[in-house]
Chain A
């Protein structure tokens, strides 16, 4: 049995642990705290401990479990809330009260619950690793596919049917290397990647119902997004909106070193919110990993791996997963803290030299993939990672390393947030490298003129930025009417299109169809104004036409009333402008 020789915060050094291997999980001290071996020198092992080490003394025991840090996979993951090392927080509350006590572990999955197992293979079938053997209806939204583990292949000798617990043996497989008994519960080491056959190029957008995202900076299913922004710029609201409305099958939300009340908000609102597609409660497709800022820092480091491993497991079943990591900066800080305690040579700003590698390894676990496993299936993981740069300055290492590997960048802007322009995604600094690949999809599936209008809108916004500089020098009045018109339309795009309330019942989700109709209306107004100004009508007169208000109220219109409303709005705009031209 090993013995502790030194305790320094979350880092514990121990001697003579029998059979210690790198990244194996150990139990530390009389309180049985959970830790992981992160360095071995001679007979000494350095351990990062996932719980508070107060009161732990040199001389106390350390035992290894002989297993690396793993997640438990199987039916019952959905609707759960876990901490960074997959301890079920609801069970822990029942057992230890409102404050998380140390040294307590519980099975992440309910071992007593019985599931209705429906086999899809029969006795005598030859199976391969990761083949789907049967299904379980996990929630009303998701059918959980029970797959053969990675190392199991052979002939089905026996397979059950009907009510089963996750610990019950449901199949006997006769393989080359002997018989294997399978249970629905499987383990997976979190730091290992679940491999895929091949990755596909992105071609389908993740529809989020957020106008500025879907229209200007769309993300593909299987893509990666970085969302950096100073505090108060709305990172968390963007992530919440995405997990509510994005059209992925499953959402894994990793609250990594952030506020406790934000997790509570998800827990209280998601069961009441309806999935726009199925009308079922959103919680039915959600898994929460909550390792808030005041919870142990080493478990925060583990939390994103726990999250992504669960996401990969569902991807292997053929689902599309959206993984929200809020915030990767806190994860990087945990890495830095542990690294500092290990007295490693620091890289930039004290972060370890391997920060970039660890970040890119994490984002590389995303993707739209073909999974081999008879039948081959297609599943995707989209990663949306929030970054919290100190002082909002994205020249720091975490932002920079993230931007190197992500293909979409939503730049959240404090000055937009302070005037309550939400989502505060800056339309000039942000980009999506998927735009070119996704525009044809919008053209085919939403409306033919989408790519064209999209380009027009972006160029108006860019033109506006240039004109603003001119206005700063010469004043608004000095501009010709044509340019005043551009400013007018740009303002409408900003205020009536890009701005979207996350709290308004109608506006919080905007279907792509509605987005297309709204864009058309704005472009219609733009054309009308252009025609009028070239015919010599002054902007002064056009600016105050009453029908303009109709454009700003489209947001409040429900999809079913939209056609009639927009037709009426267009007519009034036309009439108003006609009236002005008539006056002249």
Chain B
């Protein structure tokens, strides 16, 4: 089908172009833009009225003019080809291969703005994923189909942690097919190389599909990238029965692109200039994690975001936390103490933990152990700040044991090697080692039977 081209650009403003005198364009319709020097860019319709369309351009608008630039409306919303062939390949943010390999072919193209999963069709995620990391497995358990972001900050080893999770994650069943989808938005080429090397080293590259948008690539493509990545993931999970782990990094860059578009459109800004619809927009990404009744595959999401100024109340982590099923929070304090992974368990949370643990999946006492560790560590940290004021001598003996516990907990439980893969049994056993330093009478979160069965108190 021949598409009519229009040269009737009225205005170019930031990433937006205003095209007039056109046949009516559809909302969210995709657009090709040919610059006078022969480059072809893509864009998308953001607002359409009789004969006029506002188009958001993916990529820089440099080189565009309002005389010779040709705009063609593609007559469809953004769609991509999906197939098993995506595994082992590298794509840009729009889903075009950038590894010199062939285009992906399939009989049908799939819309990248996926329809919402019917809540009635969802299956409650409940299958325990062992990541081999104590702070996650023991206290913030990840389950299949969950969306569990890492809240990090600049200079913290979130990439290493994400890579370690991707490397070590396994479930108790072994006959399942795994795939990793890696979506990188606005990260540096160094970070991208780190991940590529990781995947290559562990041999997981051939079961990974990589979507790359580096810092130097068009920032507007970052709006499209997670949707392309998740559409691919949905195909693999629900059509091909893969268990897909989706790593999206860095969501902060995504949100900043969203803000850029919003300000170019002169919308009323919400908190810190981010658009008021950012919650809804983010949810259309995060809510695509999950499981569907009667289908074997699943999508587990680990989005990574860096909190600007280490501030968890910034709209990016804040809105994310309201949508995702928990969060893993990294702490600069622990990093300074030389602890890896510097996961601060207190603000961390896994909302689906209860579904994935307990008798039949991990161990019957898992919930109690986790709660006890939380409350003891919180107590220890409170006492730490108290003793800084009044001195350790004025603490009671009981309190001193909590202080010691908090230190030991950080050194032995939180801290572990980059390649150390602890089983859940190891983690639980270590928990009892640590708790046995505290008086057994204080163990209010643990059932009596469990203390007798697993306890290490003398």
Q: Is B120 within 8 A of A90, CB to CB? A: yes
Q: Is A98 within 8 A of B268, CB to CB? A: no
Instruction: Tell me the B366-382 residues at the A interface (CB within 8 Å).
Output: 367, 370-371, 374-375, 378-379
Segment among A219-227, A418-426, A565-573 that sits at the interface with chain B: A418-426
Question: In the complex where A5-B50, A98-B118, A232-B349 touch, is A337 in contact with B280 (Cβ < 8 A)?
Answer: yes
Q: Is A261 an interface residue (CB 8 A)?
A: yes
Q: Is A58 within 8 A of B120, CB to CB? A: no
Q: Is A55 within 8 A of B29, CB to CB? A: yes
Q: Is A405 an interface residue (CB 8 A)?
A: no
Question: In the complex where A54-B28, A556-B447 touch, is A261 in contact with B290 (Cβ < 8 A)?
Answer: yes
Residue of B nearest to A495 (CB): B444
Question: In the complex where A54-B26, A259-B287, A420-B375 touch, is A7 in contact with B124 (Cβ < 8 A)?
Answer: no
Contact partner of A5 among B49, B113, B394, CB < 8 A? B49
Interface size class of B (residues with CB under 8 A): 35 or more
Q: Is B6 an interface residue (CB 8 A)?
A: no
Instruction: Tell me the B397-414 residues at the A interface (CB within 8 Å).
Output: 398-399
Q: Is A194 an interface residue (CB 8 A)?
A: no
0 or 1 for each of B344-362: is its CB under 8 Å from A? (1 = yes): 0011010110110000000
Give the docked Cα–Cα distance between A265 and B386 (Å). Answer: 41
Determine how close the nearest CB of chain A comes to the CB of B94; give it in whole angstroms: 17
Give the docked Cα–Cα distance between A414 and B355 (Å). Answer: 22
The interface residues of chain A lying within 8 Å CB-to-CB of B115 are: 52, 99-102
Question: In the complex where A98-B238, A232-B347, A260-B122 touch, is A294 in contact with B116 (Cβ < 8 A)?
Answer: yes
0 or 1 for each of B228-255: is its CB under 8 Å from A? (1 = yes): 0000000000100000000000000000
0 or 1 for each of B273-293: is its CB under 8 Å from A? (1 = yes): 000110110011001101011
Determine how close the nearest CB of chain A comes to the CB of B204; give it in whole angstroms: 27
0 or 1 for each of A519-554: is its CB under 8 Å from B? (1 = yes): 000000000000000000000100110101100110
Q: Is B117 within 8 A of A475, CB to CB? A: no
Question: In the complex where A54-B113, A100-B115, A101-B115 touch, is A330 in contact with B290 (Cβ < 8 A)?
Answer: no
The interface residues of chain B lying within 8 Å CB-to-CB of A553 are: 448
Q: Is A392 an interface residue (CB 8 A)?
A: yes
Determine how close the nearest CB of chain B comes to the CB of A44; give it in whole angstroms: 11
Contact partner of B119 among A89, A231, A417, CB < 8 A? A89
Instruction: Tell me the A408-430 residues at the B interface (CB within 8 Å).
Output: 414, 417-421
Q: Is A125 an interface residue (CB 8 A)?
A: no
Q: Is A293 within 8 A of B48, CB to CB? A: no
The interface residues of chain A lying within 8 Å CB-to-CB of B390 are: 471-475
Q: Is A141 an interface residue (CB 8 A)?
A: no
Determine how close the nearest CB of chain B comes to the CB of A399; give it in whole angstroms: 14
Residue of B nearest to A334 (CB): B280
Main SS of the interface on chain B? Answer: mixed
Contact partner of A264 among B48, B119, B288, B391, CB < 8 A? B119
Q: Is B124 within 8 A of A261, CB to CB? A: yes
Q: Is A263 an interface residue (CB 8 A)?
A: yes
Question: In the complex where A59-B50, A390-B313, A475-B391 touch, is A419 in contact with B441 (Cβ < 8 A)?
Answer: no
Question: In the complex where A93-B118, A99-B114, A350-B270 touch, is A391 in contact with B374 (Cβ < 8 A)?
Answer: no
Q: Is A57 an interface residue (CB 8 A)?
A: yes
Instruction: Tell me the A283-324 residues at the B interface (CB within 8 Å).
Output: 290, 292-295, 297
Q: Is A54 within 8 A of B284, CB to CB? A: no
Residue count of chain A within 8 Å CB distance of chain B: 84
Give the docked Cα–Cα distance between A471 and B119 (Å). Answer: 50
Q: Is B163 an interface residue (CB 8 A)?
A: no
The interface residues of chain B lying within 8 Å CB-to-CB of A192 are: none
Q: Is A57 within 8 A of B394, CB to CB? A: no
Q: Is B49 within 8 A of A99, CB to CB? A: no
Instruction: Tell me the A363-402 residues at the B interface (CB within 8 Å).
Output: 388, 390-393
The interface residues of chain A lying within 8 Å CB-to-CB of B447 are: 556
- 29 A-B contacts (beta carbon < 8 Å): A7-B48, A7-B49, A52-B115, A53-B28, A56-B26, A58-B48, A58-B50, A98-B295, A100-B118, A101-B115, A231-B318, A232-B326, A260-B117, A261-B125, A261-B352, A294-B117, A294-B287, A334-B280, A340-B276, A420-B375, A420-B445, A472-B390, A475-B395, A476-B396, A478-B394, A495-B444, A496-B444, A503-B354, A556-B447
B-side residues, CB < 8 A to A, are 24-29, 46-51, 76-77, 111, 113-125, 145, 238, 267-271, 276-277, 279-280, 283-284, 287-288, 290, 292-293, 295, 312-315, 318-319, 321-323, 325-327, 346-347, 349, 351-352, 354-355, 367, 370-371, 374-375, 378-379, 386, 389-391, 394-396, 398-399, 441, 444-445, 447-448
* Other A-B pairs, 10, CB within 8 Å; known A232-B349, A333-B279: A57-B25, A93-B121, A97-B121, A261-B325, A264-B123, A294-B287, A420-B445, A476-B394, A503-B354, A503-B367
A-side residues, CB < 8 A to B, are 5-9, 13, 52-59, 81, 89-90, 92-93, 97-102, 230-232, 255, 257, 259-261, 263-265, 267-268, 290, 292-295, 297, 330, 333-334, 336-337, 340, 346, 349-350, 388, 390-393, 414, 417-421, 471-478, 495-496, 503, 540, 543-544, 546, 548-549, 552-553, 556
Q: What are the nearest 4 A-B pairs in CB distance?
A: A391-B313, A475-B394, A293-B283, A419-B378
